[in-house]
Chain A
Amino acid sequence: MGRTPVRERNSSAGLLSATPLRISASRCSARWWLALVAAALFATSAHLASAQASAAAKPPFRWGGDAEGGAPFVEADPADPSKVRGFDVEIAEMIARGLGREPVFVQVAWASIEQSVERGDFEVGMSGVEDRPELRARHSVSIPYYEFHEVLAVRPGDRNRFRRLSDLAGRRVATLGQTMAYQMLVDEQARSGLIPISYDDDVHPYSDLVAGRVDAVLLDNVIAERSLRRTGGFVIQPEPAATGHYVAVFARADAALRDSANAVLRARMADGSLERTFRRWGVWNDGEAAYFRRVLAQAPATDAAAPAPASNRALRTYLPALARAAGVTLVLSCLAMALAVTIGILVAAGRVYGHPLLRALLTVYVEVMRGTPVLLQLFVIYYGLSGVVRLPAFFAAVLGLGLNYAAYESEIYRAALEAIPRAQLEAGRTLGLSEGQILRLVRGPQALRLALAPMTNDFVALLKDSSLVSVITVVELTKQTAIYATNVGSWVVPGIICAGLYLLFSLPLSRFARRLERRWSLA
């Protein structure tokens, strides 16, 4: 006796992975823009709801989750997108009612749930939050209310070849970034040499599996089964790779509230309400029933905080990874800029010298690329075109950023070309130079000098925009920093290191450009 369920959870979590586990990241749907609209609606409705509840005696119970995660966790209600539904929604409502309060949903990005709950944006965060020792060290954590399994999904033809992680040496294995599954893949990489691929959402790992971009996906059985129902085209290996638990996370100081919530959760486990909810969402099974019996057999108790993770060790572990990610950022930015400059010069020359029809086409290109989000363009190039051509992620990132920035560069060059006085061109003509020679020898070189300062600005902007490519699975500096930050539970050190690395790239660049500019202007 005496062993609390929480301690048991700790030890089981410790078994799953030798190294610290990550928080489970945003289970975002591919329809992120729809979710954005929905989020705006939620924010409004939450505001209204809180206004109504303030009249009541008890304050509303604010709980945070990510509706981008989708069913069965938290999703926008198709019947009324201003409301959310899902098993996490129902459990949050149970807790609120048990405390005699009115639940109010607060939309929060998945990876920010822990930081937000500690800031006091809401009292509890729930959206399939994975239990792990670091979480308990930094926050107050409820009893685990659901037991899940990490399962391996493979294409049907590989069913017998790839039965477990160790069969996947040298293969690309996808998962959601910043999760327990991702950490398992990183650990397995050290052992057997598989290649972990981190996604920002839990839909595309499966579509890329079916498309052949990756050879396996490791994720929670809940997510795997949902994808199997929705899209299919793969099989789930019966043997789980690991077991984990979903918990509700409270601010560290809110241990009392957590204990009250635990009492409610236990009561709902005992009276079958939780079971009914999980059944309704199709995630109930015999294993879950056995898990509930085990939890209820144990006496309730508050848990002691686990020792804080050694962040120095984390720093040492993460420095090489950050350096590598910084290299990715730098190489990616340089290649994308080279592409942008090349295409930009061609587009600018076409718009200044070309046939009216060509000019119109190039204008359309420039306006479309400048008028739509680069994030959307990356999605289209990587996922949208995958039916036609399956570009490797890094290549797609260079292409997406390069094509987008080419539109901006072309406008800089066009303006610079048009800024060269007419007399310069006429002087070239009277000397017998051809139009091509005038562009190459007179107009171009002078325009390039004018374009230098804005180009440098754009390159610095590109360095920073390159962080967007994590949405198509490229792990660059910002993404790696986010992984590091969630691991150590603070943005201070990772943030400073990350900012320092970006400045290390951009400052010398600006200095170099200023020097070059000065030399040319003094010429």
Chain B
Amino acid sequence: MSGGLAVTGLRVAHGKREILRGVDLRVAPGEVCALMGASGAGKSTVLRSIAALQPFSGGAIEVDGFALRPGPLPRESRLKGLRRKVGMVFQAHALFEHLTALENVMLAPVHALGWTRAKARETAMALLDELGVSHRATAYPRALSGGESQRVAIARALAPDPLMLLMDEPTAALDPARRGALGETLRELAGQGRGLLISTHDVDFARAVCDRVAVLAEGTMVELGPAEEVLARPSHAATRELLRGPERSPAG
């Protein structure tokens, strides 16, 4: 699969504890893939490994020809290629508190990509507009609602025009109406040819928005397939557990 994300045999260990024990996953451009599993199953670890925010101990990750290898994280200067291809939206959004919404979106284009401020501003305004938050451009993160702040975070991640967008639990703090709106937005992004990998344990959201579903349990991929198929006829106990109790949050 060229141009997409390929995760092969991903292993992550914290000391002796193995968090991921060989995870395989592919996301093609234009595809929305849900990464499901109970809390603590390792969803965030997969995303963080792909975004090169933490090292992994085995397997391989490749994004559109850029390969990450096991072992310590490479220096940031070696990761420039990856950074342009992978955008990330954090669960709590992690907007820069001291900058306005617009400045948050402009930061990477100006300082990482070296665009002129005028060009960066134009692009950033277009993105905010596309996501429906251009009226909040001059607001600081503190003044934004949860939904607004998420859209600004998406705009910020999209500013360098990445091929892949990773999202960590985007529905966690949204009411049903906003969840629907977010789904539409994400489908549009996929329509532009981007691949989306979304960690969630929201079954309805996955069914409505995602093309494929991958279910993580005990550090391995226990189920992988088209969304309707997996969610209608689950073959693994972990998937059935997910379908039974929405929004249950066991510790760990």
Across the interface, name the chain A residue whose C-beta is closest to B142.
A523
> Shortest beta-carbon distance, A186 to chain B, in Å?
53
* A1 at the binding interface (Cβ < 8 Å): no
Interface size of A as a range: 20 to 34
Within 8 Å of chain A (Cβ to Cβ): is B174?
no
Which secondary structure dominates where chain A touches chain B?
helix
Contact A432 B98 (CB under 8 A): no
For the complex, is A423 an interface residue (Cβ under 8 Å from B)? yes
**Segment of B56-64, B76-84, B127-135, B205-213 engaged in the interface with chain A:** B76-84
Choice from A423, A433, A446, A523 contacting B107 with Cβ under 8 Å: A433
Does A391 sit at the interface, judged by CB under 8 A?
no
Could you tell me the distance between the alpha carbons of A274 and B80 in the complex, rounded to whole angstroms?
90
Are the CB atoms of A433 and B98 closer together than 8 Å? no
Give the total number of A-B pairs whose CB atoms are below 8 A apart: 71
Most A CB contacts (10 A, CB to CB) among B94, B112, B160 go to B94
Query: CB distance B53 to A430 under 8 Å?
Result: yes
Residues of B close to A441: CB separation below 8 A: 107, 111
Given contacts A429-B53, A430-B53, A523-B142, contact A424 B94 (CB under 8 A): yes
Contact, CB under 8 Å: A427 / B96? yes
Cβ proximity bits A423-438 to B, threshold 8 Å, 1 near / 0 not? 1101111111111010
Q: How long is the Cα–Cα vector from A431 to B88 in the complex, in angstroms?
A: 8
Provide the residues of chain A in CB contact with B92, threshold 8 Å. 423
Q: How far is the CA of A249 from the CA of B213 in the complex (A)?
A: 96
Are B90 and A426 closer than 8 Å at their CB atoms? yes
Give A523 Cβ to nearest chain B Cβ, in Å: 4
A426 pairs with B111, CB closer than 8 A: no
A419 CB, nearest partner CB in chain B, Å: 12
Chain B count of residues within 8 A CB distance of the other chain: 30
* B190 CB-CB contact with A under 8 Å: no
CB pair B76 A435 closer than 8 Å: yes
Residues of A within 8 A of B79 (CB): 429, 432
Residues of A within 8 A of B80 (CB): 432
Q: Tell me, rounded to whole Å, the shortest Cβ–Cβ distance linking A434 to chain B.
A: 5
Instruction: Assess the A427–B97 pair: CB atoms within 8 A.
Output: no
Residue-wise, chain A 412-456 has the 8 Å CB interface mask toward B (1 for contact) of 000000000101101111111111010001100110010000000
Q: Given A424-B96, A426-B53, A449-B98, answer yes or no on A431-B90 (Cβ-Cβ < 8 Å).
A: no
Minimum CB–CB distance from A522 to chain B (whole Å) comes to: 8
**Chain A, Cβ-Cβ closest to B140:** A523
Residue A291 lies at the interface, judged by CB distance under 8 Å to chain B: no
Decide if A432 touches B83 in the complex (CB within 8 Å).
Answer: yes
Partner of B112, one of A437, A446, A523: A437
**Given A426-B53, A523-B140, A523-B142, is A431 in contact with B108 using a C-beta cutoff of 8 Å?**
yes
| Residues in B lying within 8 Å of A, measured CB to CB | 51-53, 76-77, 79-80, 83-84, 86-88, 90, 92, 94-98, 107-108, 111-113, 140, 142, 156-157, 159-160
- If A429-B76, A432-B108, A434-B76 are given as contacts, then 14 extra A-B residue pairs at C-beta distance below 8 Å, sorted by A number, are A423-B94, A424-B94, A427-B88, A427-B94, A427-B95, A427-B96, A429-B79, A430-B53, A431-B107, A431-B160, A435-B76, A437-B112, A441-B107, A522-B142
CB-based closest 9 A-B pairs: A432-B83, A432-B112, A431-B108, A423-B94, A427-B94, A523-B140, A430-B88, A445-B98, A446-B98
